[in-house]
Structure 1
């Protein structure tokens, strides 16, 4: 938590670093001086401490926002931009497979045919036999390359003697 905000949770609440009981024993003389001071001076000092605390919190909010922007940038950089068009064949990520995971089971089901692509990156799929349609998030899809892989392997077989 301290890495993202730049402050510990204790500093966020109380505006100062946390002191352990052992450290407090050495500050007994300091505490006596502090408590026996002028009331007006103490009041202005407390007001300044509250303003400093507010500044620290604003700084923490800025640090938090910057940290979230960095994490979002890193996450978005890892996303693969896929463009789908109607008529393409795709595979669908099977998210329910996690419950009954087998070592050799594929996480992808399909192939399915894209019937329609919506502007919000949702995709309407239909089965190859055209019996069932449903809409899924485009992030759960990947291109089905079976035909292209077979063509590539036949070209390799023709090239190699």
Structure 2
């Protein structure tokens, strides 16, 4: 009877291992690598804890320009004032400029 329990436990362990391998393989397929080259514009995630920051305020700051990419996942960014600083690449995302339509009509409201 104890040997049957050991066999069931071993089978459960093996099926759990197979399931975890398949789940990891599926998860790894959905991961996209982010690679930035010097000159790319990026947004930086601001992870500082603020007690009373606005709920709808975006935590993405920037745009910054990639000045240099290091051999690992760190990047050196160039701020608008000319200073450079190093950040982890996981805190960056590409910045896409919004194309503004120049045929926009401006309406001014006047109080009666």
Give the TM interval when normalised to the shorter protein: 0.5 to 0.7
Partner of 2:68: 116
In 2, Cα distance between equivalents of 1:56 and 1:95 = 47
Number of aligned residue pairs: 103
Partner of 1:95: 47
Larger relative strand fraction:
2
Query: What per-residue deviation string (whole Å, max 9, x for no partner) do you get for residues 116-156 of structure 1?
Result: 223433323232323241231x232111112xx23xx34x8
Any stretches of 5+ residues in structure 1 without a counterpart?
1-48
Which moved further from structure 2: 94-103 or 119-128?
A: 94-103
User: What's the Cα RMSD here?
Assistant: 2.8
Q: Tell me if structure 1 keeps the 8 A contact 2:65–2:77.
A: yes
**Where do 5+ consecutive residues of structure 2 fail to align?**
104-112
Bigger radius of gyration, 1 or 2?
Answer: 1
Question: Does the C-alpha gap of structure 1 residues 64 and 95 become closer, same or farther in structure 2, counting only changes over 3 Å?
Answer: farther
Q: Please, what TM-score do these two structures have when normalized by structure 2?
A: 0.66
Q: Which structure has greater helix proportion?
A: 1
Correspondence for 1:126 among 56, 71, 78? 78
1:95 aligned counterpart, secondary structure:
coil
Q: Report the equivalent of 1:144.
A: 95
Q: Could you say what secondary structure the match of 2:62 adopts?
A: strand
Change in CA separation of 1:116 and 1:132 when aligned onto 2, cut-off 3 Å: closer
Runs of 4+ with >4 A deviation: 97-101
RCO higher in 1 or 2 (8 Å CA, sep ≥ 6)? 2
